Amino acid sequence: MFRLEGSKTLAVDLAGDAVKAKNGSMVAYEGQMSFKKMTGGGEGLRGMVTRRLTGESMAVMQVTGQGTCYFADRASEINLVTLHGDKLYVEASNLLCTDAGLRTGTTFTGLRGGATGNGLFTTTVEGTGQAAIMSDGTAVVLRVSAQYPLFVDPGAYIAHQGDLQQHLQSGVNFRTLIGEGSGESFQIRFEGEGLVYVQPSERNTIGGNV
C-alpha cells in the first residue's frame, strides 16, 4: 500500500488502518485522516525513556483514516523497504514512515556510532510490512555476502538489513597525524548476508574530517 509518487513523495493508501510517520511530514491527503502524535516513538513509557537517554528520540505521529495520504520531507529521496520478519537498522532521522504493525526499538551500535556522527545508538524496525527511508540523493542498495564484505563511508551509510556484523575500521597512519589525511580514515566493514543502503552524499562526521 506504499507507493512512490515521483521519487520524493510517498503515497500511502489507507482503508481504516494506520501508519506511523515522522512528525509533520504530511504534505497532502484525500479523504478522512486523523493525526496523533505518539509520545516517545509509540513504544510506551519504556521506549520513551530509552529514546531520551540514547538520543535516538524521534517524533512520530500515527495516521489513521480512509483515503490516500502523501508524505515528504525536505525534498529527500525516498526508498521503500519491504520486511518479511527481518530487522532493519536505520537512523531515526532517516526513517519517514512505517506500517503500524512494525515494531520499532533502539539498539547499541558500538564504536561505529561515534565516527558516523550518528551517536552510539540506532533505531531498529522489525516485523512484516513496509517502511520508507529517506536519503540525500538516490540511494544504492548493496548486497553483502559471506565472501564479499562491504566497506562503507560512515557519512554515507543510511540503513542496513539482514544478518550482518559491523566493525569500524580505521586507516589512520602517519599522514593523518600530520594533517594530510585523505578524509577516508574510517570505514564501516559489513560481514555476513544482507543489504546495505548507501546515499550519494556524506554527512559531516568526525571520521570524515581526519
Partner 1 sequence: MPFREINSKMVEATVVPGQKMFSQRGAMLAYRGEVAFTPNIQGGQGGMMSMIGRRMANEATPLMTVEGNGTVMFGHGGHHIHVINLSGDTLYVEADRLLAFDGTLQQGTMFMGSQGGVMGMVRGQVTGQGLFTTTLTGHGAVAVMAHGGVIELPIAPGRDVHVDPQAYVAHHGQVRNKLSTALGWREMVGRGSGEGFQLELSGSGAVYVQASEEKL
Return the residues of window 47-106 that contact partner 1 according to CB under 8 A.
59, 61, 70, 72-75
Closest residue by Cα to residue 118 from 168, 162, 80? 168
Q: Which of residues 15-44 bind partner 1 (CB under 8 A)?
A: 23-30, 33-37, 39
Would you say 25 or 187 has its CB closer to partner 1? 25
Closest to partner 1 by CB, 139 vs 196, is 139
Measured from the CB atom, the residue of 100 and 206 that comes closer to partner 1 is 100
- For residue 203, what is the DSSP state? -
Confirm if 10 and 70 have CB atoms less than 8 A apart. yes
89 closest CA partner among 195, 204, 199: 195
Residues between 138 and 197 that touch partner 1 (CB under 8 A): none
Cell triple for residue 54? 540514547
> Which of 140, 151, 155, 154 lies closest to 190, judged by CA?
151
The least CB distance from residue 57 to partner 1, in Å, is 13
CB of residue 71 vs partner 1: minimum separation in angstroms? 9
d(CA 78, CA 136): 9
The reply on whether position 3 binds partner 1 by CB under 8 A is no
Residues that bind partner 1 (CB under 8 A): 5-9, 23-30, 33-37, 39, 59, 61, 70, 72-75
